[in-house]
Amino acid sequence: MASGSYEGVLLGMGNPLLDISAVVDEAFLAKYDLKPGNSILAEEKHLPMYDELGSKGNTEYIAGGATQNSIRVAQWMLQIPGATSFMGCIGKDKFGEEMRNNAQTAGVNAHYYEDSSAPTGTCAVCVVGGERSLVANLSAANCYKCEHLKRPENWTLVEKAKYIYIAGFFLTVSPDSIQLAAEHAAATNKVFMMNLSAPFICEFFRDAQEKAFPYVDYIFGNETEARTFAKVRGWETENVEEIALKISQLPKASGTHKRITVITQGCDPVVVADDGKVKTFPVILLPKEKLVDTNGAGDAFVGGFLSQLVQEKSIDECVRAACYAANVVIQHSGCTYPEKPDFN
């Protein structure tokens, strides 16, 4: 495809959050009842944490949110201006401005819905020993409305896109928007993709997840999420390859694309279930001293994967790019990366 025909090829919809990232200690995790590697929504008891993180000398503010991270990384890998777009809700404030500037710098065509009643969402990223624990305070991100999606200037992004990606986190915000985009994708033979995103999504938002699932052509997730997905369905197996296969064989709304399941396992091989078969791909191992933090690794993995998928490359190539992007991002703080990719 000529670069012009890539315009808006990939669309993401999700929760734009500003990451407030700092290195903390075990006592900090204990104080706020957090587990390393986990991802949760903020409750009342977590709210003082944001100021406490902000007062640490090493705090960084990085534009984040799972879907937006993946779209930014895909854009970085593609190096084709305007290839990607993103929609989500921000507040009318300093953090919202920062988000806007960041998307622009990244080359992503962001159509934010602005909500004046809530501040831009934030995500506390508590890093201990390179492992991150995430606590999202959605605020404005939680205010996204289907009406925004239906506006002609935004719906054109959906119509232009050939690939649509939405993290599972958005199921807690606007399942109607997901349904609208999913049905459009099925009706027009586009590729619709989601992420399991977190154990709590698989456990507590199962109904919304189940409603979207028949439309999902590619589903991403990690081993913990996959096992939780299996557990709530009473599958009685902890075997990730088996689970990936079962997920790929769940019913589909449209027969155009068969579902492909892609599960990461940290430094263990990536599992891909496709057409009744499972393949595993080793990841690029990184010496411990080069690891900065795992924040954004899964998002970057998806972004790398999507950057090749939209170019109609093979699954092997998609996984190779995914592993490359994740490897780069874990050597940087948050979901950030050097100016140009070194992937060929």
Give me the active site residues, please.
Answer: 299
Q: Spell out the SS3 assignment of the chain.
A: CCHHHHCCCEEEECCCEEEEEEECCHHHHHHCCCCCCCEEECCHHHCHHHHHHHCCCCCEEEEECHHHHHHHHHHHHHCCCCCEEEEEEEECCHHHHHHHHHHHHHCCEEEEEEECCCCCCEEEEEEECCEEEEEEECHHHHHCCHHHHHCHHHHHHHHHCCEEEEEHHHHHCCHHHHHHHHHHHHHCCCEEEEECCCHHHHHHCHHHHHHHHHHCCEEEEEHHHHHHHHHHCCCCCCCHHHHHHHHHCCCCCCCCCCCEEEEEECCEEEEEEECCEEEEECCCCCCHHHCCCCCCHHHHHHHHHHHHHCCCCCHHHHHHHHHHHHHHHCCCCCCCCCCCCCCC
> Could you tell me if 342 and 108 are in contact, meaning their C-beta atoms sit under 8 angstroms apart?
no
Rounded to 5 degrees, what are φ and ψ at 260? -115, 130
Cα–Cα distance, 222 to 217 (Å, whole number) = 17
Residue entry with tokens 């997905």? 229
Q: Could you identify the residue written with the tokens 């690029």?
A: 284
